[in-house]
Amino acid sequence: MSDQAPGKSADLPSPPAPSSRRVFAERAGLFGALLLLILVFGSLSNSFFSLRTLVSIANQIPDLTLLAVGLTLVLISGGIDLSVGSVLALCSAVIGVAMVDGNFSLGTAALFALTAGAICGLVSGSITVLAGLPSFIVTLATLFMVRGLTIAAARGFTRRTQLGGLDDVVGYELARTAFGSAPVGGLRISIVWWLGCAALATWVLLRTPWGNWILAAGGQPEAARNVGVRVARVKIGLFMTSALCACLVGIIQAVRFAGADALRGQLQEFYAIIAVVIGGTLLTGGYGTIVGAVFGALIFGMVRQGIVMTGIDADWFQVFLGGMLLLAVFVNRYALVRAQRAP
């Protein structure tokens, strides 16, 4: 089998494109869910419509959305990545150790962190694709191994899991401006990062041959191989992209909190998966959108903030998450069956 990339994207049989009716229904459903949440929480709390609440919701979205962008690409290609929370913590710890204990500049420390994240994605993707193992199992194992390695290394270098003092390092103000500041009305600069990453990922999916390859890798992998698409390389590259997105979140959080925590990022992979599934991405691969993932993250943030604002016991947040995930899976499944039965 030739391992050459296709010369033209037109040579590649595209996965069954969703009808405009289905896309409209999905968008309308997401808008309807947002509107319903706004009305419910607004009726339960008079302060829900305040500017402070809107800023709080907006500031909760970037970290989750950045994770969701990478996960969406992996899910579209037919895989799943459960290791992003651990990779987030690893890269955050690398930034802290490199800048505080190693006296490296922000640029060098960020390069170390991104390299560590890329290696994690490369290992997970290579084992999944080349060994033919389920990505669920491989990335679950990676989750535990990277988490344990991060904790052990942090304690080995610093004798603790929490690494502070980043704000005392030369160059921190520049790092804070780029990653941790809130320059306009309390809105964090990380909003710019997730807008840029989401826009770039959307452009790649919709306007480049890579988008066709990603969709085909999840929906029609054999057809993609038959026309020369390097499906294995595409999938491994997407695991690396997901890890790099998690690494970016780790850098942002390390700078924002002026320190790192080897225990940071726990459960974030599951929150990101919930946001992605709520946004309409199929767990079976072959279909998904970045815009949907953004809406899913927005719904997630609105529910979290709404529960706080209305005084509902925080324990119910987990119940809401589980319920939303099940409902989203049922809706996505129903839409898929309808699309397959359509003439």
Q: What is the pLDDT of residues 57-102, one digit of tens each?
A: 888 889 999 999 999 999 999 999 999 999 999 999 998 888 888 8
Contact of 286 with 14, CB cutoff 8 Å = no
User: 100 in a domain, yes or no?
Assistant: yes
User: 62 in a domain, yes or no?
Assistant: yes
Range of the domain at 160: 9-341
User: 57 in a domain, yes or no?
Assistant: yes
CATH number at 40 reads 1.10.3470
User: How many domains, the chain?
Assistant: 1
User: 4 in a domain, yes or no?
Assistant: no
User: 3 in a domain, yes or no?
Assistant: no
Q: What is the pTM of this model?
A: 0.86
Smallest CA-to-CA distance from 15 within 229, 323, 309 is with 229
Sign of the dihedral through C-alpha 94, 95, 100, 106: positive
User: 2 in a domain, yes or no?
Assistant: no
Which neighbouring-strand residues pair with 184?
187
113 pLDDT tier (thresholds 50, 70, 90): very high
Q: What is the pLDDT of residues 119-167, one digit of tens each?
A: 999 999 999 999 999 999 999 999 999 999 999 988 887 777 888 888 8
User: 27 in a domain, yes or no?
Assistant: yes
The reported pLDDT for the residue numbered 338 is: 65
User: 312 in a domain, yes or no?
Assistant: yes
Q: Where are the alpha helices (DSSP H) in the chain?
A: 20-44, 51-76, 84-96, 106-130, 135-158, 172-175, 190-207, 209-219, 221-226, 231-256, 268-278, 290-310, 316-341
